[in-house]
Structure 1
Amino acid sequence: MEPICKKMKYDESMNQPLDFNESMGPGDSHEVLKTFRLNLMKRFQCLHEGIAKQGNPTLLNEIYTELYITESESGEISNEHEVRQIETQSRRAATEDTPIKCSDIFRALPGQDKPIRTVLTKGVAGIGKTVSVQKFILDWAEGKENQDVQLIFPLPFREINLMKDKTLSLSDLLHFFFPETKEMDIFSDEYEVLFIFDGLDECRLSLDFQSNVRLCDVSESASVDVLLTNLIVGNLLPSALIWITSRPAAADLVPSDRVHRVTEVRGFNDPQKEEYFRKRISDQSLADRIISHLKSSRSLFIMCHIPVFCWISAAVLEKMLSRAESGEIPKTLTQMYTHFLLLQTNIKHEKDYEKKVTDEDMILKLGKVAFQQLVKGNVIFYEEDLRECGIDVTEASVYSGLCSQIFREELGLYQGKVFCFVHLSIQEHLAALYVHLSYKNNRSQFLYDMSSELSEFFTYNLSDVHQKAVDKAIQSKNGHLDLFLRFLLGLSVKNNQILLQRLMNQPRSSSDSSEKIVEYIKMKIRATQFPEKSINLFHCLNELGDHSLVEKIQQYLKSGTIKEVKLSSSQWSAVAFVLLTSEKNLDEFRLKEFVGAENKADHILQKLVPVIKESRRSNLCKCGVTDEGCAALASVLRSNSSQLRELHLSDNELGDFGVMRLSSGLEIPDCKLEILRLSGCGLADEGCAALASALRSNPEHLRELDLAENILGDSGVEYLSSGLKNPHLKLEILSDWQNLQAFKTHMQGWTGTKIKPCKNPVNLV
């Protein structure tokens, strides 16, 4: 069989504009191919940017802002809430990643020679995955990019879901979605074909990649899920290219050994955020004011990594900053989203139909869908999902027409109806608003409507609801209630309640409600055993307008006196929050800046685990770190989201036990540490044995190991040598001049690793 993807080698001719009068295929298929391209061009040339397909859409090429896309090391699943992932990505320096243009995702980078058939592109909701797909297809249809591909078949999972009960062949499936191809042999060897499956996280098919059902014939009928799995693994059309997009939480639904490249859409970096607003807002002085305001609120500017949030912010701030407004300009997420909801209901009032639909009734019903489907983890809804919430399809269609920028109805190629909120964060905001309003209006009826699974969330009054929601969010393993909690608490604040009164007649909460939940959150911050969990709680305090903990820490950091002050547990959590939300990239974490008579190294490391995970280099030299601190560091090394690449621990009395604890993290394949310095750390036999075991288990990443000024002894050197002889080891430099001769003796005759006769360091190349 010919090599897969030989056609994807870079060729300048691929980027020449297409002449539609030039032959694009054999025989009579030319006109069909021309029609096929033109149909895709018409379908993908407009960007609806959260707006249903009506009115005057914007041409994609007029507003498109290049997204920051990187090649990722793997398609590992991420269980963090997507807002936390955005906050993490906002701190990464661009130099840490390998950028890749959307149009080049099937082309090998310099130094890569393996063929690329299947690409998985991951990214959080609203980050631009679907727009990237749209731009890729449009550029191809217009003859600008990837002209060695003759056919592109975009098959979004939300449309394929509607065919989950069908039995048909791959040929039938494609003829159904793309009827113009019936006139040509689309499976001919003369055509290079690309399948695009957008939205793996929305898939409701049972994708069983372990199934023994093997299909090789495009005319053989099977269930749609069997067709897809056989196409993705290469049993059907092995030479076809496959592109799959997914939110990170579903990235592992396709086995990693079936994916040849993983890319990640990071959304907008800081310059791209500004470029977006300057393109989106025609008045450049207004665009400048909007950018300035967003930069003044760190939490809002971080969220602008998500293009959909930029669109929401532009819609709200363009209205508010271009005219005299009595209300406060939004500074928190809850304020921004509540203003956005107000904006959409005002648009609804301008429409001439369905006057009988009240704001309150519509919001409560949409909120019920949002809440119940959020708990279930659904972001797209079909007729059966709506019926469960007491809404029929006709009613849902009315809502999508009245609030097209909140709730969207899509009519796919299969002619089935699919509903969704424009973005997950809008769903979370409406879910929180539903809970808030339901308790205000009729708590007993609300509890009656709830299933037993959901009713455990609630108790008797709003203050108790808030506390229960805090508990539920902390208990959640993947943080899926974090943003919902921020919105729910933010809605209890006075200025947001004033906004709600403009939507509907709502009594305000008593002032002590916010005070009670603030104290409850601070208690939870003090009590939490997991520093990462406190990050969202500080965001909650920000929504509630309480900045007392953070402001005190900012004073200590600014004055440089933080090492002289004995900090409480909650204050250390505030330190982590301040560092993680700082404008500065966490390129290096220096422990010495915090260690003092009142603050011991091990305790600090335990409290600042989230910070160390996000730093690329951690300098902990001469700080009094012991084995207890090594246990905290091992948890960092075990994390698949850790950015730590250099760990400097020289001149700490770690001893064998400390190095053994550290090695328990080094040996995990997820550990990507490249440089480890353990000079003068009291390392001996047992520590060397643990290090050797780690080098055997995870030989791919560590490049430099400094063991100078440790009396390893002959047995310690023997242990380490057994690890150094791993033929897969990538270690290049071993610094240890005291034990140089012993290493040369034990490594004698081993050709897999060469020890150069230099004093410092020992080079292993």
Structure 2
Amino acid sequence: MEPSTEEDRFSEEEDTRDWQRPPSSYGSMKSEDEDDTASGMEEDDKEQQQCDLEVAVVFNRPTPVLARDAEVFEGAGVQMNRPTSPESQYTMTTIQTKPPGAIVIEASRAFDIEPFTDGHEDEDEYDEDGSIVNSPEPPEAIELEDDQTMDSHGQPGRLHPDQDLPHVFRNIQEALKDLNKEELYKFKINFHQRQSDFTLKQMFDGDLLDFVDKIIEVFGQDRALLNTISTLDNITKKREAQELQVKCKKALIRSSLKLDIIRKYEYIFEGVPQPGRRNLLDEVYVEPEIVHYACGGGPSHEHVQSPGQTAAAGSLVSLNNLFRMQRPDGRPVRTVLTSGIAGIGLTTSVGKYCYDWTKHRANKDLQYVITLPFSSLWILRNRNPSGSEKMSIMDVIEYHHSLCKSKMYLEDAECKFLIIMDSFDCYQTALDWKNSVIINELHTPASMDDLIVNLIGGTLLPNAQLWILGRQGAVSHIPSEHVDAFTEMRGFNEAMKENYLTRRFLQKRTEIGAKIVAHYKKLPVLCDLTRQPFICWMVAKIFGHNFENKEAYGRYPPKLTPFFVNTVIIQTNRRLQFYYNQPENSLKWSDEDQQMLRNLGKMAMKMLEQRSPVFSEEDVKAHGLDVSDVSVFSGLCTELLPTSSGQRRFRFIHNSVQEFMAALYAFTLFHVESKNVLEDSRSGRTALAAFVFNPQSKSAADLVQCAIERTFTAPREQYDMFLRFLCGLLSPDNNSPLGGYLYPRSKDKGVQNEVKLLLERTMQTCPQDRLENIQECLRELTQVDL
């Protein structure tokens, strides 16, 4: 309410100050009337301006002269001369800076003094009650220095001029300034009904500039724009709504893409998706190591590292800086290829990159980020059984981003955007890189195969930057001349592991995270495996549950076998779900799936006997396996770089996985067919064995006895882990999760007791250097986690 007397106005406490009208928070938002107003300046105003300039020269203006009670941000050198109201990131990012030599004039609000008139006043400038309808326009804003517009990643922090806050603010103001008193009142009431968290007092307090300022502070740039358009349309101001939509088209497209990304990636389902069990991506994500091999060519053979090996310092690149790399000629990279083994965090990192873009944390200079996952492209390709359906690249983009069904300006030379194509391994057909039809128009229909070839090759959308992700066995088929930079995701280092495991429990019990870190470090093999975020999640899930529900848990080191059992189950289910389109609620292992795992275990056993962690394409086919099924779909193997002769090479994602699969093969054949695949080792039998062999016996103890003999007669560590896993699988507590999937369920405790007796006798006579491993075998067999 306007104070009635001077005494009422200043009867508040001593530090009460006059409302001060700032020149404007948004310096770049000049109205079209400004030039006319300037040209009609009175002569005495010109003389006063000249006097002000002379005063500024005399005093040299070493520091700005501030209006009373004005706030100064020393770090930015920016003066904020605004009313006493909460500031937000929006007003701060667009605050008017005062150039040297400027004079600050305190402009009182309309309800403090009567509007000044000199007989030439514009009748539209003030409403009947004296409130300002069209806010005074400020001078042009001063551009900030380049180093002040860089984000925390050293990247350009400035949005495109058609998408930034001043552009949106100015056009909202332009759309509302021509509304008469009744229309503006109707607009505000309707806006309030749609947005109840905006009070009526806020609606009607101040002038139009205050109103636009406040809605952007409260709702943010995107919501304020969308709500303004819909409210104008609702009060039948369709022309104004349409004009605002056209002027802010690029900002609206960016907003719709952001909504799609937030809906997809704000929450993450880790490990096995379960309804209602999800975490905020920002709370659990830890960026893994990404190795940059080369720009303008693929990684050389010297750079091949075994899984789990730490990347060389200096070859790492951060996630948000992938497209800050340059080609040898100095130009920015167009296409970046990132590979990694199963469970290393490729898809999760895509979500984090996109989510950071929506929050303006990084890569602000990208106008659009468009996600086109290969899994979806594969479904789209096969939507028509005849395979004759053709689509344009714009049809594909609009299919994935339904809110962008309009011109996206992708052909404009100044449009900078990124297309992310994840899971290349999901596109299960060979692409013809040499003979595909050439496409260079956005609306030319073509087959999905041809669209992908032309998009990656650069004939289609050549201005786009492209990020392709997938497993090495799949992405290795992309010709090197189409890729500017090769990168590989390596997973967590020690600090990242601890960060991931501890931050998950910050909201519950902090001490649990510390206990988990100390517990998994008791096993060196587990320390190595936790480089994979997927295994880290399993550690957090299993150990966290046990520490929360079992008071005495953690007294003994953890067992390894349950981790590998769950790894095989989860990766096999993912294979059926992602590559064979089985619904997650009805996953069923067919006879072919079971046989694939047995054959994979048989090959692992052969490679173990040959002491070779690497196997060839001929080895894969010799065991009745499909190369793609092994190297890509299984999630248990990965493809290495080919040899100089072009021979394809593969290996398990970790040596311990190979040893577990060999043990699983031996256990499964014994459990299903009562067959001992280790009987051929009898010729190497020594007097060290304490168990008396019965030629007619098909017992579990006989199987373990053969494994012990192989272990003792082979070099150390060749069969040590194999023996531990075999003993662990003979425990019903460990093998029960695979019961019903790979072999019949069994709860026979007699097998466990028989093997326990064998191990205890072996410990009494075995060499001292083998004792520790036998003790670990016994622990895997018998330990019950309390």
- In the superposition, the TM-score normalised over structure 2's length comes to 0.47
How high is the TM-score relative to the length of structure 1? 0.48
